Amino acid sequence: MPPERLLQAVWQHQRLVREELFLLDGRAVRILHPGFLNREGGPDFRDAVIQFGDASPVSGDVEVDLQAGGWHAHGHDTNPAFARVILQVLWEGGRMVPGMPAQLALVNRLDAPLGELGFWLNAEAETTPENLSGRCSGPLRQIAPEEWCGLLQQAAEIRFQSKASQFAACARQTGWEQAFWEGLFRGLGYKHNGWPMQCLAERRGRWFLSESAPLVLQARLLGIGGLLPADVTRLPAGSANYLRRTWDHWWRERDAYADCQLPGSLWRLHGQRPANHPQRRLALAAHWLAKGDLIAKIERWCAEEVPAAGLVDSLLAVLQIDGDDFWSWHWTLRSPRLPRPQPLLGAARVTDLAVNVILPWLWARAVEGKRPKLRHGLENRFFSWPAAEDNAVLRLARQRLGVGGRPPTPWRAAEQQGLIQIVRDYCDRSNAVCGGCRFPELVRKWGELAAENPGSAKSM
């Protein structure tokens, strides 16, 4: 039996006799698009387009398992992340099992012997198949690198202004300070826990008392968030001690906050990096709130002259806390004590908070306050901010747009934001075969315009 990685590569590159594919139940199947390799939790391929028999093509996910039993053995049948799976790709088949997604066995459908495919996997399969490129990849290849960069910067500008207008709208309802805290909590939720974090911040008026100590606020935030484990006994000794101290506060308060408690099920904790765990993020937020000077410090940072190379470190110095008796020494409640203390915030998260929260919030205030000099200064910071960590959305976008081997230069946070905006505006509204997407046409027009008006790329 081949390794699962080889089977995934075979599927991704469609190293199959594609005209002769039949499901275990006998229906013919046409793979219009194999989907996009998913390197995170959930099915192996997202957004495939498949035609079963004579039915209309459908879009959904694909899971690759060596054997049919993997579906139940790995718990996919009860995992909501697998609810969109329309096809289970197997090495060997058997009889179709009722209640399963459609099943396709590849054992006799490879386009080359297994040994040859294994050699090919080591040599080539890590590259992106040419035919996964979207329809825009051709027009994008036709425009000059600086035009591509200008296009990304304009998309970044749209994204930045849209975030700023959300802050302005929130501030009209709740005030600038509350808008800031809602944005900051959302940012701390990272990609999977933005909503519960926002829900907590929305009730800040209920749970925040300015004289509270960090531990009291941590207990309150973890308690309201449904993130305080009830069972202390199964935790390492240091964690059990911390948890007892938080429970000492929370048990006295919890009835008073019954109306704003969140169910623990709202959080997505599976597959979370320890440094991004919401318990740790809330512990950090408790320190900021207890100290009470975060907004004033950010305003002072905004007024300082900071060279582009020092932007991340200077903001990190504003956001970093001195330390926490427990959280500086433990990644999570279940982790053993670390040999040396770790900061509660890293440079990667600072960039995300800067481009998604702090700069748009400051910019929206500058616009409302009619302070053009401040506004331009913030725009300069946004456009010169160093790139954030690469991620799955950016990698997939570069694959689809056919620019994987040609990332724009410079490649900064603004260009990354522009790329994400293109994905949201076009790829997410289309399908894997780019049906109805207007972006290729826009790129062509952009190229023509740039040729007529050189240097017209950026304007905020």
Positions touching ligand SF4 (CB under 6 A) are 134-136, 400-401, 422, 426-427, 430, 434, 437, 439-440
Complex with ligand SF4: residue 35 or 278, whichever CB lies closer: 35
Torsion sign across C-alpha atoms 266, 270, 271, 275: positive
Complex with ligand SF4: residue 366 or 437, whichever CB lies closer: 437
The nearest distance, CB 446 to ligand SF4, in angstroms, is 13
The nearest distance, CB 135 to ligand SF4, in angstroms, is 4
The nearest distance, CB 422 to ligand SF4, in angstroms, is 6
Task: Give kind and range of the element (H or E) at residue 121.
Answer: helix 114-123
Task: Give kind and range of the element (H or E) at residue 50.
Answer: strand 45-52
CB-nearest residue to ligand SF4: 134
Distances, alpha carbon 236 to alpha carbons 198, 239, 324, 417, in Å: 30, 5, 18, 41
**Cα–Cα distance measured from residue 48 to residue 14, given in angstroms and rounded to the nearest whole number:** 12
How many helices (DSSP H) and strands (DSSP E) are in the chain? Answer: 19, 6
Complex with ligand SF4: residue 135 or 163, whichever CB lies closer: 135
Complex with ligand SF4: residue 89 or 434, whichever CB lies closer: 434
**Cα–Cα distance measured from residue 222 to residue 224, given in angstroms and rounded to the nearest whole number:** 6
Q: To the nearest 5 percent, what fractions of the chain are helix, strand and coil?
A: 55, 10, 40
The nearest distance, CB 416 to ligand SF4, in angstroms, is 16
**Cα–Cα distance measured from residue 32 to residue 52, given in angstroms and rounded to the nearest whole number:** 10
Complex with ligand SF4: residue 391 or 430, whichever CB lies closer: 430
Distances, alpha carbon 113 to alpha carbons 6, 13, 14, 34, 449, in Å: 12, 15, 14, 21, 51
Complex with ligand SF4: residue 377 or 402, whichever CB lies closer: 402
The nearest distance, CB 115 to ligand SF4, in angstroms, is 35
**Cα–Cα distance measured from residue 418 to residue 433, given in angstroms and rounded to the nearest whole number:** 22
Amino acid sitting at position 152: L
Measure CA 77 to chain center.
25
Complex with ligand SF4: residue 185 or 426, whichever CB lies closer: 426
Distances, alpha carbon 5 to alpha carbons 9, 44, 123, 399, 449, in Å: 6, 10, 14, 20, 45
The nearest distance, CB 393 to ligand SF4, in angstroms, is 12
Complex with ligand SF4: residue 201 or 396, whichever CB lies closer: 396
The nearest distance, CB 427 to ligand SF4, in angstroms, is 3
Complex with ligand SF4: residue 135 or 220, whichever CB lies closer: 135
The nearest distance, CB 417 to ligand SF4, in angstroms, is 16
Complex with ligand SF4: residue 235 or 434, whichever CB lies closer: 434
The nearest distance, CB 355 to ligand SF4, in angstroms, is 21
**Cα–Cα distance measured from residue 41 to residue 228, given in angstroms and rounded to the nearest whole number:** 25
Q: For residues 136 and 437, is the Cβ–Cβ distance under 8 A? A: yes
The nearest distance, CB 126 to ligand SF4, in angstroms, is 21
Least Cα distance to 381 among 460, 320, 319, 318 occurs for 460
The nearest distance, CB 381 to ligand SF4, in angstroms, is 28
**Cα–Cα distance measured from residue 128 to residue 131, given in angstroms and rounded to the nearest whole number:** 8
Complex with ligand SF4: residue 238 or 440, whichever CB lies closer: 440
List, in sequence order, the alpha helices (H) in 175-267.
176-188, 194-202, 204-207, 214-224, 237-253
For 416, half-sphere exposure in the C-beta direction (CA atoms, 13 angstrom radius) is 20
DSSP tag of 186: H
**Cα–Cα distance measured from residue 399 to residue 390, given in angstroms and rounded to the nearest whole number:** 13
Complex with ligand SF4: residue 201 or 397, whichever CB lies closer: 397
**Cα–Cα distance measured from residue 257 to residue 216, given in angstroms and rounded to the nearest whole number:** 14
The nearest distance, CB 137 to ligand SF4, in angstroms, is 7
Q: For residues 15 and 112, is the Cβ–Cβ distance under 8 A? A: yes
